Amino acid sequence: ARLLEALGRPQDACLALHVAGSKGKGSTAAFLAAGLRAAGHRVGVYSSPHLSDWRERATVDGEFASDELWMASLRAVLDASHGDETFFDLLTAAALHLFAAAGCTATVIEVGLGGRFDSTRVLKPAATLVTSIEREHEDVLGPGIEQIAWNKAGIFLPGVPAFAGAGIDERALEVLQAEANAVGETLQIAPAQRAAGAKLEPEHQQRNHALAGLVLERLGFGAAFAKLDPRTVRLAGRFELRQDGAGRAIVFDTAHSENSLVAALELFRRRYHEQSRGVVFALRDDKDAQALAAALQARL
């Protein structure tokens, strides 16, 4: 907050949507951004992690910002820094500065980790939303799903509509509802899927699409969103299809919780059931590799 104050509070330059959750943040953010662009906005999206290029973390209308914009924003942030900010603090400030400099009229900002104590908590958004709650990063956010939900609900603010995706564990949902009520808001829960529209895979994309639709409808952008074909919305690292030099299909997915990994692998099997398949699975050391491997073994 101190750093952004020195930069002239670039986070206040345009409408912002703040997205937290254990999974589904990136896809939901992509649907939100597509709806806002369809409504005529120039949209900045801040997300993490990146898959191939760190510039994926701050895009403008779905494209990398220019090197000149990045250099100017990074220089401004480093000049204003007190030296005690984290890497994520500095990158968040640079992205917000970049979006303002690029003339964005709306932004979709993903939480980095949790929500209550995240660098992105400096926003004054038009809406806050929690996509899902799962047991993850318990060394920081836990222990237990209720404590994780409490951390993610920290983005709820007085006077700002609060939303949640479908299918959240009842214990976590009770925490989200209580935290929304504590700031004077009623938690609005999205349906599992929209009443009309194309079928999406993996299935959890239906929930992400429905949550984005509810938020945009409440903000007055529902008509523009309804005209979009959600199958045209693409996001790096979310069942992303590429090819190697020999023309073989390679699917990249950044799924890192049990449910999302299972969904990605089951879709992988359905799509390529007649072909020889292989899986390369990489984990950070803060994940329970044995538990995830046991859950996935039968699906390989």
Mean pLDDT along residues 241-255: 88
Contacts of 227 (CB under 8 A, 6+ apart): 38
pLDDT for the residue 125:
98
Q: Which of 43-57, 59-73, 186-200, 276-290 has the lowest mean pLDDT?
A: 276-290
**Residue 132 predicted with pLDDT over 70:** yes
Alpha carbon distance 146, 133 (integer Å):
9
Predicted confidence band of residue 297 (pLDDT cuts 50, 70, 90): confident
**What's the mean per-residue pLDDT of the chain?**
91
Q: Is the pLDDT of residue 139 over 80?
A: no
Per-residue model confidence (pLDDT) at position 253? 85
Please report, for residues 15, 99, 187, 235, the alpha-carbon distance to residue 105 in angstroms, rounded to integers and kept in the order given.
6, 9, 26, 21
CB atoms inside a 10 Å sphere around CB 293: 12
Q: Which two tokens stand for residue 118?
A: 């995240």
Rounded to two decimals, the pTM is 0.88
Would you say residue 18 has pLDDT above 80? Answer: yes
**Whole-angstrom Cα distance, residue 189 to residue 237?**
27
pLDDT tens digit sequence for 186-239: 999 999 999 776 678 767 789 999 999 999 999 999 999 999 988 888 777 778
